[in-house]
Structure 1
Amino acid sequence: MEFFFEVLLGGLLAGVMYSLVAIGFVLIYKASGVFNFAQGSMVLFAALTFVSLLERGIPFWLTFAITLLTMVVLAWAIERFMLRKLVNRPPITLFMATLGLSYMIEGLAQAVWGAQVHGLELGISDEPLELGGMLLSQFDIFAAGVAGVLVIFLSWLFNKTRTGISLRAVADDQLAALAVGIKLQRIWLIVWAVAGFVGLVAGLLWGARLGVQFSLSLVVLKALPVLIIGGFTSIGGAIVGGLIIGASEKLAEVFIGPIIGGGIENWFPYVLALVFLLVRPAGIFGERAIERV
């Protein structure tokens, strides 16, 4: 039983890493109602910018500030030259725009920083830590703490501030929000900037674990089942979905994998997401769409 709980807690902590990527998707979806396929490229671009500056001898916190400013500038450029042109267009149009944006960001990252693989050391040991007779990753515990602080901050920002109220208004009805004086461009800029910040945090944590390389952008594929289970409109749902995916894939790998073969953790989350789509398409915390006909 102790081994079971060790695997379960290890999976829960690992699932937090998926949640960090999923939160970026939720922010954009809440503001525009579109799935931002470029979030993975933003994670890659942030991590690649950070590690490239750090390797040039720039201090850690100054590097973090410069990278964050770069992500804000990137958010401004996206809003100014893409989103502003696509107001009130069909969601499929915005989705295709973010798909093209994904390749543009990856190409920009390669042109500026090159395509070589970088190691990233954050000073957080990945050695196991014994707690109550169980061995847990120190890095996963640190990542869970970062995610907790991030969720508290985002919950305050979007539930207790005027910006958050405006964001919910834009998410409900863009034309009505414009009619009452809400500046759609300003809201989109703020949301994409915050998504860039979340991408930076996720990029640093994932880059420290996997190395900063172009395959880092594929981490978005693991965020898909997280969003399907938790819901596309809930930050808390992204966390819960990540915990469910992290725990289930680790338990399946350890207890079911030896029976049916290895590699189960690569596809089990998608099977679980498919089950949720059949039972609860909107996800656990998702809002069901109601349309008048």
Structure 2
Amino acid sequence: MKREGNIKISSENMMPIIKKWLYSDKDIFLREIVANGVDAITKFKKLVAMGEATEDGGEYCIKISVDKKAKTLTVEDNGIGMTEEEVEKYITQIAFSGASDFLAKYEKAGGDGIIGHFGLGFYSAYMVSENVEIFTKSYKDEPAVHWESDGNATYSVDDCDKNERGTKIVMHIADGEKEFLDESNIKSLVRKYCSFMPYNVYVGFKGDGKDEPLNTTQPLYMKNPKDCTDEDYKKFYRDTFMDYNEPIFWVHLNMDYPFNLKGILYFPKVRNKVELERGKVKLYCNQVFIADNIKEV
């Protein structure tokens, strides 16, 4: 039976603000939704490692699909999934962090790899969507859940027939945001924001054995410097910065005290002062792209 309720925010006037001003770039919504899927998979893997859940042998991955006729963009993971109680807790309470709650419970098992705040990140979908649906099945033996809201501070929730563990988010793209129904554009956004995420990310997955992920789950900067060759560094530079001139040299950063930092600092060949001033740092957190204009670093 369908249940209805109000999204728990401090004021109904907050929802238009979230939809329009949550992030400076609208396309960041895709990073947020995919990052939530990555978190869900990481949580499930931790439960498996602790003996609290059982693997099914499938590939951990994120699948993104576009349906132009239905005007939908769908992101699906095979992570931990949610019960109805968890949907109420993590979705209807904006800014409540499912990641923080999970870490508080399992911090002794190590919290590395959990990315962030599910509440606000999920609602970034409304920057480009007129309606959003969630279909989710928990790893627990409980009914699958369907949640839906048009972003006006109300929602409905009922059971659904989803059989496989994980969460599927279906975004009904608004009329003025049709660029997000272009599969080639979605692929470009995945390469920009999700290129180093720790699980394979597919766009237009067909399941015919020929599907190729758009990301690299083990970027060079995560490896031990002694295991990297000069050619590895040069190729990573070309692929990451789209510069086919070889860098002058590079420094591989690999430290865990007083904070954890991994990266590669490249010194490119520059032909003029303008190119020198254009130098920048690409910043990632838990392999999720944050920004490429951090001049203060």
* Pair in the same fold by TM > 0.5: no
Is the strand fraction higher in 1 or 2? 2
- Greater per-residue helix proportion: 1
Q: 1 or 2 for the larger relative contact order (CA 8 Å, sep ≥6)? A: 1
Q: Shorter-chain TM-score category?
A: under 0.3
